[in-house]
Structures are given as C-alpha cells and as structure tokens.
A and B are shown apart, each in its own frame.
Chain A
Amino acid sequence: MKAATSDEYKILGTRPIRHDGADKVTGKAKYGADVQFANLAHGKILRSPHAHARIKSIDTSAAEKVPGVFAVITANDFPDPQDKIADLGEGPVTLSHLGSNVMARGKVLYKGHAVAAVAATSTHVAEQALNLIQVDYEILEPVLWVLDAMAEDAPLLHENVFTDSMGEASEKPSNIEKHLHFEKGDIEQGFAEADIVIEREFKTASVHQGYIEPHVATADWNEDGQLRIWTSTQGSFTVRHQTAELVGIPLSRVTVYPCEIGGGFGGKIAVYLQPVAALLSRKSGRPVKLVMQRDEVFEGTGPTPGSFVRVKLGAKNDGTLTAGKAWIAFDAGAFPGGPIGPGCMCVFSCYDLPHATVDGYNVCNNKPKTQAYRAPGSTHVAYATENVLDEIAGELDLDPLDLRLKNAVKEGSRRVDGPVYPEIGCVEVLEAVKNSEHWNAPLEGPYRGRGLALGFWFNCGLKSSATANVNTDGTVTLIEGSTDIGGSRTSLAMQLAETLGLTAEEIHPQVADTDSVGYTDVTGGSRVTFATGLAVCKAGEDIQKQMRQQAAVLWDCDANEIEISGSTFSRNGNSISFQELAAKQLQLGEPIVGRATVAPDCSTNGFGAHIADVEVDPETGKTTVLRYTAIQDAGKAIHPSYVEGQMQGGAVQGIGWALNEEYFFGDAGDMKNASFLDYRMPTCLDVPMIETIIVEVPNPDHPFGVRGVGETPIVPPPAAITIAIHNATGVYMRELPASPPRLWKALQEA
C-alpha cells in the first residue's frame, strides 16, 4: 500500500467540528448513567473488606426479606466456566478467572472484590440489604509488593496457577504466573565491549486509569431470553462475548448498546458490572442498572501494575550502546494476565542494541486485577531505560539528545524480541526535538531542570467493520463499531470523506450496537483511526465501485470506462457529481451500500519524545512543571486537534504518574486513598499548556499513512520528569511517584 503525500489531501489534516460536539456541549449525549426504564431496578454490590480471605459461607436470607428487594445473587448464581479460555481480540482470558473477578468464588483476593449483589427499588434499599448479607471470612495473609509475592514462602493466591515459561509449566503452583525471556546477540560480549556500564533499579506504584465516568451497566433480560445491555465500554463486542460466556448463553442472545464513554484508557475492556446486572435482571424480571461509586472504581477495577525494573546498559566512550539487560517484574493483581509481554518488548524498543537480554515476570498479588492502561507496560520500562541512558550521557559528558540520536532505531533495526522495524519515525521525532523552540530555549534559575525522554508503542491492527449507506441527498451515513473515546467518529468520517471527495459534514457517523454492525474489536491499542479507518476507506472504495456501475448504466458503457476524480464521475466529456448520482441511485439500480471488514497484518510503530522543564521547591519537595512539549510521529494526522488532544491527555496522565498518583495500601492490603480527594491526579492548575509537535512519517500499511497516536504519549513523561528533577537537584528519583514527601526525603539524604 502506498501512502499519499500530504498535499494530495483536501479533508485530512483539517479541523472540522466534531460530529458529536453539539450533543456533548449541550448535555444531550447519552452516557450509561442516563439510561432509564419505567420499571428500572437499582443494583449495588457487596465488596470484600479483606485483601485476602477464604469465603466460608454467605447468608443472603435477611437481605432477601427486605421490602423492595427484587433479587440477591452470589457467585453461585453464575454457571461454572471451568477451564475455558476466550480470545477477546486483544488477548486471551481464562473465563474462570474473569468470572471470579466479577464475583468472588471461594476466595476474595483484594479489598473491594465483589462477593454479592442486590437489585432493589432504589440504591438506598439495595444498600440496606447489602448490610444484612452475612459473609463468614477466614482471613488470610495478603501480599502486595511484587517482589514479596515472588518469594518462595509468599502467601499463595491460587493453588491452580503455575509459572508458564513459554509453554512449560512449573512443577509447583506459584504467584509468578508467567516468565518471559528474550535475547539478542551475545550479552557478555556486549558488556565486555563497553567503556561504561550502569545498572539501576526502579519501582513504580499502582496507578489507576482515572477515567472520569465510573463503570456503569444496565441489563434487561427479556422474557424471550434476549439480553440487552447498555454500558460504557471500549468494546461492545468484547462485552457481548464476555457476558455471554459468564452467564452461559449464546452470543446471539446478547445485544450490547455502547453508550457515550467518559474515558477508558484500557480500563473499560474487561467486564465487571455487565454480567452482574444481567443475572440480577433475570432473577428480578426487570431491567437493572449498576453504577460504581469512585471508591468502587479504585478498589474494584484494574489499575496498571506496580513494578520493579532493573536495567543495565553498556556504552562506548563515544556513546554507542553496546549492550542492555533488563529484569522486569509486574503486578498481575488478583488473577493472571497483564502487560509483561509488551513491557519486555518495549524496554529497549527505542534503541539499536547489538546485544541484549530481557527477563520478565508477571506476578499475582492481592491487588485488583490489573488492566491495560495506555501503552500497557511501556511506561514502566521507559522510565527505567531513559533514566539509565541519561545517567550514561552525564557520565560521558554527552548531549542527551545526541546520545539518543546516535542510538535511535530506524528502518532495518532489529528489536530484542526479534522483528525488524519497517519505516519508522524515531529519528525524525528526535530531529524535531532538536529543531524545537523549546529544546533551544534557555532554562535558568536555581532548582530548575530540563528532561528529555523517548517512548514507543506498537499499535494494534485487529479487526474492524464498517458500513456506509449513500443517501439520496448525497450524504453518507457511516455505521461503525468502534466506541468513540477520543473523537474517532470524526476522524473516521474524514477518511471516508477524503475517499469519496466529500466534506466531513456530509458524512454522518454512527457508533452502532452489536446487532447493527459487523464484528469490531475494542477501541484500544491505538488502533481505531488506523484499522477502523482502513475499513472505512475500503467501504468508500466499495461505494465508488457501485456508483461507477450506476454511471455506466446512465451512459450505457462499461463501468471500467468511468473515471473518478474527487466526487466527480466522468466519461468522454460527460460528468456527474457524487450528489447527482446519489439522487439517481434508486432509478439506476440497487441502493448503494458500501461495506468492508478488515483484519490487517501490521507493524504500526509510534514513537514520541517529551521535553519537560521543572522547578523543585527544596523546602517542600514539590515539583512544578514549568513547560512541557510532546513530539510524536502520527504517520498522518487526520484531525490534528484530536492528535494534539491525545498527546496532551497522555502527557498529563504521565505527569500524574510521575509526580503524585499512587495507591496507598495499609498493612492489611486496604487502599487508603480511594477517592479523587486523596488519589492525587493532576488538574488544570497543576500543569502548563502542553505544547505539541506532530511529526508525519507515513505508515506504509495505511492508504493515508495513519499511525495510532493514543498510547505513546503516556510513555515518556515519568522519565522526562524525573530526568528534569535530576537536572534541577542532582537527585535521581528511582521510585514513582516523585511526590513531595519522597523527593523531599531524597533531597535531605543527598
């Protein structure tokens, strides 16, 4: 596929008003909490007060007798999924683990783990009933820190989880559920060739995706056995699949209606409430709505892993990297699964290392089951690698940007996990840093410093579908299945408009339910503008093919004789516009409906670099971000405002990760700060306007050159910020967050 050059485009690269804008700014957009029915019941979930305990018994009899209570359920109301594994597009999930996370079966594995649920006339009645449910727990010792959980004598979470080492299972059950190992070249030779070797250890805390909209689901189990679900999700098809499996009914009996979504960032892919609402609905005979409170979101849904990462790099005196070695341990949380694979694959993904080894471990511990969070795994490891690289630059008295440029990956570089990069924009991103006003601006004053860091994320392809109906007034209704988190409706409409020679306003995009559009994987992996965009382009080409045939009928010629330029169809001096032809479609033939499905094989690699200027208050340890610039290769920025928005949003989330955000756990494994008052996310008062520079190195796998942009921007910030703190204070912060008390302590000890 050949990518077009930017000057060929009429729509791409412009900034039309988003199609969902009016509804969202006037409050008319329908979110999950807005779903209402006349006979709606309200559900609440009883959650474990213990981080690790065996459930000896649950007595729901008193709760069931409360007036206004329609249904009470526990894990016993769910069918046993046994050992079945479901492929959810982004990866497999063991259904027994997924089901036990939705409703604890036998053991609770983190504080906040769901153990029972009630549907009642109101949430107040439901809460009253929850208080009457008697759960007899045998409290067990919890283990939270990832290295503690790896110890031989650590409390064991699962008797049936064994360490998988590429298809070989350990003899004894273990909290270490997966070990990965990658190697390239000869690591001993690589370090022997080095003039300088630096090895450091890094820790990161559990942080939450922090979406503003809590989880919500309304389910209506109809008398005919059909189940309808309205929910906030990143993937309506994956909700359908997971829910059907967990409640034990065929896919075809479930329809999922995706509502508008107030953020997900990877945390709204796994189901939590949907199967519970479904079974409460079946038992109560009425629709049931469940809405989480913020403490339930923190305690009951997936944070990103806390981590321990050790990175060792060797370099020659001229800065040429000779070898890299990484040892990575990630929290899995209560159940197996997590981003240790991409963490291992990303740790050296920005640099051309001739010799490297990487070992990664995914470890169960008594925290909520970890879930994806924007470039899952990559932020943790970039924090480590970039800091070690910066230390090498300091020791060798080399410019940190030049050191990165010297070692940056490019087309033909082989990653430590094996594959060779196609055309990528890593060097171009660094060149943009070099030419930026920010990088060349002076930064003066005490306790001020500047940091630079690189980041990488793959981007997924997966599967997408699109249907486009040509209306007789010359507009097109686009039906697609990617739930719209960051403006994707408009970026998809623009790609169809560009394909058909129309304006963005002439396309009416709709995100459809699971019965109304072909299978589409999740909005995640930075894939929608790329992969669903690919489907949209192909649907546009399908429309052109049909309209060419209708023009051939009109002019009594072969369809191959019709030429298309923009929105004009022509032959031998005759021409007709898209709109005119659309108006004649019902006379010339069948209604025109374009359709396409895609499952692209791809290697869509996104690189970004961030520059951070900070000032540290030595008396309090507070870090103020003075200036911040995000630079990223977007391939082709379809709607630059949305690309900039993704870069800014990711940067701010990464700044929060770097400076403040963390789960505080008590000795009993209970989260102490499960509210936005105490879980300190950045607000607009905490960050400057994030400046952006978009680099465009076209992706050869997309007709317009699109690369995914949503995830890479969260990767560099913790590294860029902590490197800036070092340059401001001389102190390397090797544990996140670099919060005021932690930085103040480090300054005192320096």
Chain B
Amino acid sequence: MATIFIPAQLKELSSGIGHVDVAADNVGEAIRQLDARFPGMKQRLCAGDELKPGLQVAIDGKMSSRGVLAKLDVAREVHFLPVIGGG
C-alpha cells in the first residue's frame, strides 16, 4: 500500500483531500485508481498512457525516470513533481 500525494493544484478534483492510500503495482495503476475515485485526475497527470511532459514521479523521495512504469511494490510515498534538469 502506497500513499499517493495529490498535487496541490489537483486538490480541486479531490475535494481538498491531500493524499490517499492505494494498492497498485506501479504508478500507472495508481493513477487509474486515483482517476476512478477522482475523475479527471488522469487527464491532468497523463498524456495518453504516459506522464505529461514536464512531470516526473518521486517514490519515497527518489526521483524516478520510469514514469507510469515505476514499481510501487515496496513504496511508501509517491509524489508528482516538475522535472528537474540542471546546468
């Protein structure tokens, strides 16, 4: 069971709920469950079946490049964040 933190800008879809616990194998499945509970969530987070360009997922604080395919088997927290480049 992982805790999905709902981005502040998407709380309008969750009636202000900031995080929910989901049982999902990966981030894509977690988003599908979020969308079932809070319709519109997938449209805001994804382009097709991928995370929207410019978004990344952080699992237990670690930024992952695997997007919707990132595994959640031992995850405790999931955050959706802007991508970070560097100079």
Contact = CB atoms under 8 A, between A and B. Distances in A.
Given A166-B10, A167-B43, A345-B81, A372 B53 contact: no
B34 interface: no
Nearest to A521: B65
B54 A92 contact: yes
Nearest to B41: A167
Given A182-B8, A422-B61, A599-B65, A376 B87 contact: yes
A417 B55 CA distance: 13
Interface in B24-57: 43-45, 52-54
Contacts of A339: 85
B9 A342 contact: no
Interface-centre pick from B60, B62, B77, B87 (highest chain A CB count, 10 A): B87
Contacts of A419: 58, 60-61, 77, 79, 81
Interface-centre pick from A87, A180, A266, A419 (highest chain B CB count, 10 A): A419
Contacts of A267: 87
A220 to B, nearest CB: 30
Given A166-B9, A180-B9, A422-B61, A345 B82 contact: yes
B85 A603 contact: no
A267 B70 CA distance: 31
Contacts of A372: 85-87
B77 A180 contact: no
A92 B53 contact: yes
5 contacts: A180-B82, A265-B87, A524-B86, A525-B86, A701-B62
Given A345-B81, A524-B86, A420 B8 contact: no
Contacts of B79: 417-419
B87 A266 contact: yes
Interface size bucket, A side? 35 or more
A376 B8 contact: no
Given A167-B44, A420-B61, A91 B85 contact: yes
B83 A341 contact: yes
B22 interface: no
Given A167-B45, A418-B81, A90 B9 contact: no
A602 B63 contact: yes
Interface size bucket, B side? 20 to 34
Contacts of B63: 458, 460-461, 601-603
B65 A463 contact: yes
Contacts of A180: 9, 82
Nearest to B45: A167
A603 B61 contact: yes
A461 B8 contact: no
A417 B81 contact: yes
A342 B84 contact: yes
A642 interface: no
Given A166-B10, A418-B5, A462-B65, A90 B58 contact: no
A339 B82 CA distance: 9
Contact of B87 (A165, A357, A373): A373
Nearest to A165: B9
Interface string A157-181: 0000000011110000000000111
B55 to A, nearest CB: 8
Nearest to B62: A601
Contacts of B82: 180, 340-342, 344-345
A329 to B, nearest CB: 16
A526 B85 CA distance: 9
